[in-house]
Structure 1
Amino acid sequence: MKSNLSKMPVYAPITPGEPMEAIGQRIQRFATARAEHPALISEQSVVNWEALLNQTNKVANHLREAGLQHGDAVAALSENSTNYVALYLGVLTAGGCMVPLSGMASAEALNLMLSDCGAQFLFVSQKNRDLLQSLRPGLKALANNRIVSLDENGEGIGQTLGDWLGNASSEAHPADVSPDDAFNIIYSSGTTGTPKGILHDYRFRQRQMERMSRYGLDGEAVNLVSTPLYSNTTLVSVLPTLFHGGTLVIMAKFDARRFLELAETHRVTHAMLVPVQYQRILSDTEFDRFDLSSFKLKLCTSAPLRPEVIADAMARWPGNLREVYGLTEGGISTSLDCAAHPSKWSSVGIPTEGAEVRVIDEDGQELPSGETGELVGRAISMMRGYVNQPEQTQEMLWESPGGQVFYRSGDMGRIDEDGFIHILDRRKDMIISGGFNIYAVDLEKALLDHPAVEDAAVIGIPSDQWGETPLGLVILKPGQKNSGPELLQWANERLGKSQRISAIELREELPRSTIGKILKRELRAPYWQPFKR
């Protein structure tokens, strides 16, 4: 695998002589420098840095004894746990490439991912035992003795992690790695064909870890982790905390009340959350009784945070709030300091250090400030490409007139007169009705302004007259009795003629990914299915 990955092009700017200390090498020092300092806190245990390093080294040493070669892929299918973190660090310490997989994916998609990355080992939690059974018939290249349970119970999976490690040495023998070596592969959530495997090298991750440490994600951080480790959203905050010897408080599954309890108990300083989590935490009826004074910074990513939610968080939740916008692929990187720019809460901020964002039209021509088009970006952290999919990688690229490579975001947006980036919609979610481009976010904002509306999504559905037309899907706040026609009239009175919503349907819930994104593809499917051949 290493030879194939090493041939993939480098799109990030290269700095000759750039210092690099791999995470697998760096964390060895914490065993002596802060041996008793808590590294991981879960519902079940507290693991100090000495214990974490011992387990990390055992994993690394036994992986190599069992045949792992430099650059080989190791996959995991698990919820967050202390064992999962130790495995992640162990794979990197051994010189392997970590491939975290989502338990929300289908067995068919997971088999494609495992084959695509050439995984040499698979570690599975008991929660995913049944999913593993669906996978096994397709795991022809992965022997049973290379499938290991991450939990104490190995029933239906194989050896437990403890039995598999046996008497493995805990001596430190971290692998030598280069900036070009594979760090991890993050798979997209595609539903057809082989999902895209996004390859991050050590250059990508080290630069990202150093940048995020400037937000306080360092050795003094107590970072509450409530999003899954297979998501890049999570890794953006988890890795720098580990890299600098801080503390992770780990939630296997998010719950708003439990989040508040853990934050108070462990004097949490940082958290990376997605918009729906902010909404659920702030709406908890007991929110204001919790002591959250230890918070220094809260981060938000995966989707823009509504200005009214930012206002609520800034008023009631101690510490600053910083919104982060970027792609798992890298390239685009912006940040909004909410305390410093209260008039810009409708934006996702300005490009971070070393990043550049531009706007292009459908023909790939650059647009001036203020005009709407697709956002493209270039930054210090950029993926090496999609594994085994060079054509898809090429489709992602846009070359500037000066010959620099930018990544296409698929997001429609604009840059205002002060250089702040505003996101309007995913390009594929944009509604084209009667020849007019309609951005769902504008319609959703109108609906969300209604005091009875808890949540809303707008999608394009087929229309004989207009080609497609906007449909509003609305969740009402508890106790509200407003009808669809009432909401429709209210919203359309506040929208332009070309933006009018055709109808509103009331829903009990909206489908979301595990990191809180509304799955518009699922919402659209029933309306467009009759038109598919």
Structure 2
Amino acid sequence: MSQMTNAAETSASPRFVHFAERIRAAAAAKPDLEVIKCAGEARTWREFLPRINQVANMLAARGLGRGTMIAILAKSSIEYMEVFLGALQAGVCTVPLSGMASSEQLEMMVKDSGSKLVFASASTRDLIEPFRGRIEAVPADGYVAIDFEGEGWTPYETLLKGASTEPLYVDIEPGDAFNLIYSSGTTGVPKGIVQSQQMRAGHILRFHSLGPLDNAVTLISTALYSNTTLVMLLPTLAMGGRVIIMPKFDVKGYLEIAEKERVTHTMLVPVQFQRLLAYPDFDKYDLSAFEVKFCTSAPLREGVKREILARWPGKMFENYGLTEGGVGTILACHDHPDKLASVGTAGMGVDLRIINEAGEELPQGEIGEVIGRNGAMMTGYHNRPDLTEAMIWRSPEGQIFYKSGDMGRIDEDGFLYLLDRKKDMIISGGFNIYASDIEVEIAKHPEVEDVAVIGVPSAEWGETPLALVVLKPESRLGEAELTAWANARLGKTQRISGVEFRDDLPRSTIGKVMKRELRAPYWAESGRAI
């Protein structure tokens, strides 16, 4: 594992309390709380903690502890959480894997992580079968079936049989690896992001400060392998709340659970907010128990934020940040209705700055790359010190900042406005064009449901903006008509070369539009690299 000295992480902060300690305290305080529920099944702490302890003791009996890793590629379930939390009790680092990755990518991730066990569910088995038995670090009985039986697979219950249900106490240090999350791979080979115990402890305190979680009822509807999910789920458990997990998000099911369970907290990605608000019966559901809603993973459009404030009870926060940490802002939408086009101000303990291509810090108001540092930063990219170093910007004082890859500016009030991913910026005729500016304008058309703007080859300009648009149902809008409407409202250098209608836009499981996938066919035809 690549290691990095992190000045921000060693700065003055509250006493470090590791996650396993917080879990034991929460269980002791509320043993009869129905702490977790998924697909109709529920567990109190009195039932849940002994299972977590069994996983921890099983891992210890196999010689797995601090510095070792296990991988999980499975559907969301209570058993998934038993494994994840049990590993933490044992000091083992968990590697949650995405079912969106290919079998080849998954094999690479398991090898790269050095995982000693691989847990799977029936829904993900076929992704693992092609490489099962080929990875030297995983023993013959190390492929574990959570909810199925199969040759070469060890049943989950068999693995736990005989393991003690008593707590396992392990000395855990702030710098120990908590989890290893691989990037989505939508921009190339996935990178392993090592998040430390200290980093996760910071997440717990940060989210608890925004909306106390002691008695929270948090509804989780994104995949358990996602950092988006973990930054809301883990603090809820650690601070004494309860969690309801949806194995798969659907609008009607989400609203029914929210009403029935009197949900108080949730973390959603922009596309989920959009689909919920567009549901014809949304306003018929009683959502009055909501205290706090969070949005992250991709920018939430200003119009959607206003609609949330008008129609959905409770506070609304937009969180912008990196899985790697360092960069982080918070927009309290309910407190700043005049700043909804921004992603807010620097979060707790965050030092946020803007730099140019030469790595020079820029003054307020100028556009450049967003960088930041705080007490919640990754240890480094696993086995890739070169990539870790490329991520770093060092201040004149020698402090370590992380580069976000996002272009933005900070206004006179300290609010950050994002423009685009650096790699998604369109350079047309020598002018820098930010797709997000064009998307915001096109999204204002009453018949537009969704839009993504990409750069496509142009013989005259090098590249030119093209809008890929999803129309609202029943729309009769034409491509030429929308092109003319948009260009009448855009600046001269921003004008789009055209519009193409799509049934939908490809998104990752956490709602990010996969622009690399959208651009690829156009650049492949031109014979030029993207």
Normalization by structure 1: what TM-score?
0.96
> Which residue in the other structure is 1:136 paired with?
132
1:65 and 2:68 matched: no
- Distance across 2 between alignment mates of 1:436 and 1:156: 59
Instruction: Describe the SS at the equivalent of 1:26.
Output: helix
Instruction: Describe the SS at the equivalent of 2:228.
Output: helix
Q: Is contact 2:181–2:227 with CA below 8 Å preserved after alignment?
A: yes
1:145 and 2:129 matched: no
Instruction: Describe the SS at the equivalent of 1:71.
Output: coil
Aligned-partner residue type, residue 502 of structure 2: R
> Which residue in the other structure is 1:31 paired with?
27
> Which residue in the other structure is 1:298 paired with?
293
Q: Is contact 1:112–1:195 with CA below 8 Å preserved after alignment?
A: no
Q: Which of 396-405 and 491-500 deviates more?
A: 396-405
Identity %: 50
Q: 1:174 to 1:157 in 2, by over 3 A?
A: farther
> Which residue in the other structure is 1:426 paired with?
421
Q: Is contact 2:11–2:375 with CA below 8 Å preserved after alignment?
A: no
For 1:513, which of 485, 494, 508 is the aligned residue?
Answer: 508
- Distance across 2 between alignment mates of 1:506 and 1:424: 23
Higher relative contact order (CA 8 A, sep 6+): 2
Alignment of 1:37-52 (within 5 A): 37-52=33-48
Moved over 6 A (4+): none
Q: 1:517 to 1:369 in 2, by over 3 A?
A: same
> Which residue in the other structure is 1:155 paired with?
150
Instruction: Describe the SS at the equivalent of 2:10.
Output: coil
1:346 and 2:341 matched: yes
Q: Tell me the CA shift for residue 36 of structure 1.
A: 0.7
Q: Which of 155-164 and 193-202 deviates more?
A: 155-164
- Distance across 2 between alignment mates of 1:135 and 1:103: 15
Aligned-partner residue type, residue 69 of structure 1: G
- Distance across 1 between alignment mates of 2:334 and 2:199: 28
**Which runs of 5 or more structure 2 residues have no equivalent in the other structure?**
none
- Distance across 2 between alignment mates of 1:282 and 1:191: 28
Instruction: Describe the SS at the equivalent of 1:229.
Output: coil
- Distance across 2 between alignment mates of 1:418 and 1:426: 23
For 1:461, which of 433, 456, 462 is the aligned residue?
Answer: 456
> Which residue in the other structure is 2:117 paired with?
121
Q: Which of 39-48 and 490-499 deviates more?
A: 39-48
1:279 and 2:263 matched: no
Instruction: Describe the SS at the equivalent of 2:132.
Output: helix
- Distance across 2 between alignment mates of 1:175 and 1:286: 50
> Which residue in the other structure is 2:236 paired with?
241
Aligned-partner residue type, residue 63 of structure 1: L
- Distance across 1 between alignment mates of 2:468 and 2:444: 14
- Distance across 2 between alignment mates of 1:194 and 1:500: 33
Q: Tell me the CA shift for residue 156 of structure 1.
A: 5.6
Q: Tell me the CA shift for residue 9 of structure 1.
A: 3.1
1:182 and 2:177 matched: yes
> Which residue in the other structure is 2:377 paired with?
382
Q: Tell me the CA shift for residue 139 of structure 1.
A: 2.6
- Distance across 1 between alignment mates of 2:382 and 2:151: 31
- Distance across 2 between alignment mates of 1:513 and 1:186: 15
- Distance across 2 between alignment mates of 1:138 and 1:12: 40
> Per-residue displacement from partner, 1:345-397 (whole Å, max 9, x unpaired)?
00000001211111111111111111111101111211111011111111101
Q: Is contact 2:449–2:470 with CA below 8 Å preserved after alignment?
A: yes
Normalization by structure 2: what TM-score?
0.97
Instruction: Describe the SS at the equivalent of 1:67.
Output: coil
Instruction: Describe the SS at the equivalent of 1:126.
Output: coil
Q: Is contact 2:132–2:143 with CA below 8 Å preserved after alignment?
A: no
1:362 and 2:357 matched: yes
Q: Is contact 2:97–2:182 with CA below 8 Å preserved after alignment?
A: yes
Q: Tell me the CA shift for residue 193 of structure 1.
A: 6.7
Q: Is contact 1:129–1:156 with CA below 8 Å preserved after alignment?
A: no
> Which residue in the other structure is 1:219 paired with?
214
- Distance across 1 between alignment mates of 2:13 and 2:235: 22
- Distance across 2 between alignment mates of 1:411 and 1:352: 17
Q: Tell me the CA shift for residue 17 of structure 1.
A: 8.5
Alignment of 1:403-442 (within 5 A): 403-442=398-437
Q: Which of 27-36 and 111-120 deviates more?
A: 27-36
Q: 1:321 to 1:498 in 2, by over 3 A?
A: same
Q: Is contact 1:217–1:240 with CA below 8 Å preserved after alignment?
A: no
Instruction: Describe the SS at the equivalent of 1:298.
Output: strand
> Which residue in the other structure is 2:191 paired with?
196
Q: Is contact 2:26–2:237 with CA below 8 Å preserved after alignment?
A: no
Q: 1:460 to 1:155 in 2, by over 3 A?
A: same
- Distance across 1 between alignment mates of 2:317 and 2:310: 14
RMSD after superposition? 1.5
